[in-house]
Structure 1
């Protein structure tokens, strides 16, 4: 894998010639709309080089054991990690391991109901890189009756044509936002919970979904045990079908917190087949400009999650987008990762990379207003894949696949084996 960071004076043709690839190939892989470049732009150039895997030293590990696991040699590991002492490995140390073996992941994308457009194009081109697609189309009433908004059937058909398992995604979404009271009212009633389970099962069976993806947010803390009980009962009815649960990111339990308190990681982890931690929107709309998913924060969240949920059930959420904030109002516009990248080129804005957050950012002026953009690129996304590899998580989720991020798909194609 080769990542080129553009420097002042670089040209697309010069970079292409140096790396023995065509300019058009670089444009395709990176989603460039023109041959123009700006300093700080990260370009991904797939190659045949053996990738480095990231591994965390565990108790009783030896270099030969690690080498056997990854199909390499102790000498290669030593070469990739200058200063490492073979007979004095420290538990918890992160090392790079050159390996011919690709990391194997369960991946899940999100999409809204559609009968064409960018989502269909993504499934056609990249369906081989997705295990599941959660179709964001369902909510429910206070009586526990699930209902669908939009026609999800064309997308279900497209999933199956693309070799992707569709999941029915349920949210407590009302009037354009998540409704904590709706979730609380249904979870508080055993009758409403049973109605919701029966209602979901009817949709799953009628439309031939492969399972359910739950995204119930802002659950009142008093209802957290009811939510776990609901998930256990739902999983029992789903049987061999998949129960996938999305949960708020947090670094401690905080059981009384109105935002994250309703998600009991341990209980949810016991009930579900897969749990996706929403490690996105650290920088959020109308808030101060911040990285969308800073690596240091993602690490803190995942380390806490792993004390409650086994790694073979755990996924981390990856953003396919960025935000453009206007200063000082913090009015915010969402952009796909590709659009955010190309906006920097259109505005001639130099890109800076925050090494602690492992996130790119830039600023520009329009109509006498300063804009600050944080987004994701090949550097940030590859660092996230390295982290979930090191923590041995089962996979990643992508919000959402209608947003263009060609560097992510190119990375997956070269470096990851998808579990279907």
Structure 2
């Protein structure tokens, strides 16, 4: 598929004619509000008949013929995909594009917060082919360590199993709608409460038809770092062949006393669990200054640190299906889907910029005289992130969350990857 950046004065008919793609196909593939709605800088994803492009980092001993053979490609095709590349002067560490009919395997997980059952099932039906796992975000636990269901989810679990997407019971340390450091600390510190939590999670997992568990404990007190490992070890032992997936905050170094990341011993967790997802989102966080959701330099630093601690075949990074609309000079933040962020730029008639360092789109607008800056993701930033997964040979990715429309992401995933299917 091709990416076209809309120029000032262009219309969809002109773009449709240039690429030989029906306007309604472009509208649907990019989630546009209508065939008349464009803005300069908008990135459009367009279907073509070319093979997937793989990002590849040159290693010692590489040459064009060797790389072509590895990817079932041809040297001439590689050179065509990399204008200016000198095949006799490949540099170690250089990243090139390799066209190949082969699709890379990717293990994916979509988070779903149950809401409207009909809408949730429709979403699941539409993207089931792009998911290995579905984490149903519906569980917490008491101060004595007993897991419980916060929202009815039986229809979602049944549909997920029917579609052969492995459902995972996602449990969080929530009190009301907020993560509770006190709850996590109290239960993890106490061996009896820890045992209660393990037993009740396993019982609910089996009773409700899940294929495993996804843990999302946030703001764990750093003093409970080892207790968290003990909990995960006991939980994995009790789950047996069922999946244990754990989400951890992103970091570029280990700071054991930090209140946000200190409790996450990447190496210890990675040794115990089946998959570990680093939450590579919210570099630009709610209430903070306008910043990218996940700038590429930061993301790559997180990956590089993570790989010093975690087997790459267990490691997932997170992709955001949302953006943030921030009022400059305040802590006011509004979250919106990437599709809504794109279409808001169209609605207000503001051009979309693309930050060359962060590799991320953004724009500004002034409703009521107040300056807003919106950072989000689009096909360009998603491609950059998928490229890093390939370069570092990661297990895959997670998506927060799948009820947020992101048609470009799903189209790219469908075209370029073989999503792993797993039976439990």
Given the two structures, how large is their TM-score scaled by the length of structure 1? 0.97
Q: Which moved more, 1:322-331 or 1:354-363?
A: 322-331
Partner of 2:163: 162
1:167-316 to 2 correspondence within 5 Å?
167-316=168-317
1:355-374 to 2 correspondence within 5 Å?
355-374=356-375
1:129-168 to 2 correspondence within 5 Å?
129-168=130-169
1:397 pairs with 2:401: no
1:77-92 to 2 correspondence within 5 Å?
77-81=78-82, 84=85, 86=87, 89-92=90-93
Partner of 2:416: 415
The Cα of 1:180 is off from its aligned counterpart by: 1.0
Alignment RMSD (CA, Å): 1.5
Partner of 1:43: 44
Summarize deviations over 1:40-90 as a string: whole Å, max 9, x none. 001100211122201123344444333222111344334434565556654
Partner of 2:345: 344
The Cα of 1:122 is off from its aligned counterpart by: 1.7
Partner SS for 1:286: coil
Tell me, in whole angstroms, the C-alpha distance in 2 between the residues paired with 1:104 and 1:171. 29
Partner of 1:122: 123
1:68 pairs with 2:69: yes
Tell me, in whole angstroms, the C-alpha distance in 1 between the residues paired with 2:371 and 2:55. 39
Q: Which moved more, 1:226-235 or 1:311-320?
A: 226-235
Partner SS for 2:371: strand
Unmatched segments (≥5 aa) in structure 2:
none
Partner of 1:24: 24
Partner SS for 2:373: strand
Tell me, in whole angstroms, the C-alpha distance in 2 between the residues paired with 1:22 and 1:95. 31
1:346/1:84 Cα in 2 relative to 1: closer, same or farther (>3 Å)? closer
The Cα of 1:332 is off from its aligned counterpart by: 0.7
Tell me, in whole angstroms, the C-alpha distance in 2 between the residues paired with 1:91 and 1:228. 38
Q: Is this contact kept in 2: 1:315–1:396, CA < 8 A? A: yes
1:119/1:94 Cα in 2 relative to 1: closer, same or farther (>3 Å)? same
Tell me, in whole angstroms, the C-alpha distance in 2 between the residues paired with 1:59 and 1:140. 51
Summarize deviations over 1:174-216 as a string: whole Å, max 9, x none. 1321111211111111111111010001101101100000101
Tell me, in whole angstroms, the C-alpha distance in 1 between the residues paired with 2:84 and 2:18. 31
The Cα of 1:327 is off from its aligned counterpart by: 2.2
Tell me, in whole angstroms, the C-alpha distance in 2 between the residues paired with 1:220 and 1:194. 19
Tell me, in whole angstroms, the C-alpha distance in 2 between the residues paired with 1:29 and 1:16. 13
Q: Is this contact kept in 2: 1:142–1:182, CA < 8 A? A: yes
Tell me, in whole angstroms, the C-alpha distance in 2 between the residues paired with 1:133 and 1:185. 29
1:379-394 to 2 correspondence within 5 Å?
379-394=380-395
Summarize deviations over 1:337-369 as a string: whole Å, max 9, x none. 111100001100111000111111011111121
Partner SS for 1:40: coil
Aligned residues: 420
Q: Is this contact kept in 1: 2:114–2:120, CA < 8 A? A: no
Partner of 1:95: 96
Tell me, in whole angstroms, the C-alpha distance in 2 between the residues paired with 1:14 and 1:81. 27
The Cα of 1:92 is off from its aligned counterpart by: 2.7
Q: Is this contact kept in 2: 1:114–1:155, CA < 8 A? A: no
The Cα of 1:12 is off from its aligned counterpart by: 0.6
Q: Is this contact kept in 2: 1:76–1:98, CA < 8 A? A: yes
